[in-house]
Amino acid sequence: MQSKTVAFCERMYGWLLKAYPPSHRVEYGEAMAQAFRDLCRDACARHGTWGLLKVVLFTLADAVPSLVAEYTAQEARAMLKRILNSQISFGRLERSIGPIFAMLGAGVLALALHRFYEMHLDGAPFWLGALAATTLALLFAVVGLLVHVLKRWNIPVVQYRRAPGQMLRYFINAPGLCYTAGTWVLVGSVYKLGELRLTEAELLIGLLIALALSMLFIALGLLLNIAKPHNKFV
């Protein structure tokens, strides 16, 4: 009778094991079932059915935190792996470069034009300054594109000529927009804070808030970049 009860408890534990992450179940499922079986037999031999019931309840209580721990560890490992891959894999990093450089270029251009307007430049000085700022902004974009081309240098450049839409999407995408927004928030805030007559403490608080807001956007961009499927640009 007791061996049937133990066998029943083993079957129940087998169902519980299905709740564990597949990798953990494949690696340790059999050993865990074996340990549970030993516990049940020992408890039955010493204390009968009451001992067996206590073991079952104890094992159920033990399973809850261990399930949480295994799933949490698995998710943390998966996220860390994705983050590390995005750092060490040039493919993933390179997908960020275009948006980042576009962001920098846009920031430089906007800042320069705003400054020229405030300085009341007009005529030749304004247009020269605007040309210089535009050139600098385009340079950022070209460098970003060049990095991408160098990475895939075995693909003929002519393909880029045939896919301007793809090129545009390379620079303008969700992560890129987030990085750009983050930069605009930071640069704009710093610029505006500099114009206001603030005390040191107020300036510091303002800068910290601006940095925090900017980091939020940049973090969102990074998360979107990491979560993106493999780049199908080319």
Which of 61, 124, 157, 196 is in the footprint of other proteins by CB under 8 A? 61
For residue 5, the minimal CB distance to other proteins (Å) is: 18
SS3 content of the chain, % helix, strand, coil (to 5): 85, 0, 15
Which of 5, 51, 53, 63 is in the footprint of other proteins by CB under 8 A? 63
Whose Cβ is closer to other proteins: residue 39's or residue 210's? 39
Site string for other proteins, 7-46 (x = CB under 8 A): -----------------x--xx--xxxxxx-xx--x----
For residue 75, the minimal CB distance to other proteins (Å) is: 15
Cα angle 203, 209, 210 (rounded to 5 degrees) comes to 85
Q: How many chain residues bind other proteins (CB under 8 A)?
A: 23
Q: Phi first, then psi: give them for residue 196, nearest 5 degrees.
A: -80, 150
Whose Cβ is closer to other proteins: residue 77's or residue 114's? 77
Whose Cβ is closer to other proteins: residue 73's or residue 204's? 73
Tokens of 139: 């340079």
75 binds other proteins (CB under 8 A): no
What gap in Å lies between CA 77 and CA 83, rounded to an integer? 10
What gap in Å lies between CA 91 and CA 68, rounded to an integer? 33
Instruction: Specify the stretch interacting with other proteins by CB under 8 A; choose among 53-61, 96-104, 137-145, 216-224.
Output: 53-61
C-alpha to C-alpha distances, 196 to 36, 109, 200, nearest whole angstrom: 70, 23, 11
For residue 206, the minimal CB distance to other proteins (Å) is: 40
- Which pairs with CB-CB distance under 8 Å and at least 24 residues apart come from 148-153? 148/94, 148/97, 148/98, 148/233, 151/90, 151/91, 151/94, 152/234
184 binds other proteins (CB under 8 A): no
Which of 5, 51, 70, 130 is in the footprint of other proteins by CB under 8 A? 70
User: Are residues 143 and 103 in contact, defined by beta-carbon separation less than 8 angstroms?
Assistant: no
Whose Cβ is closer to other proteins: residue 33's or residue 226's? 33
Residues forming contacts to other proteins in the complex (CB under 8 A) are: 24, 27-28, 31-36, 38-39, 42, 58-59, 61-63, 65-67, 69-70, 73
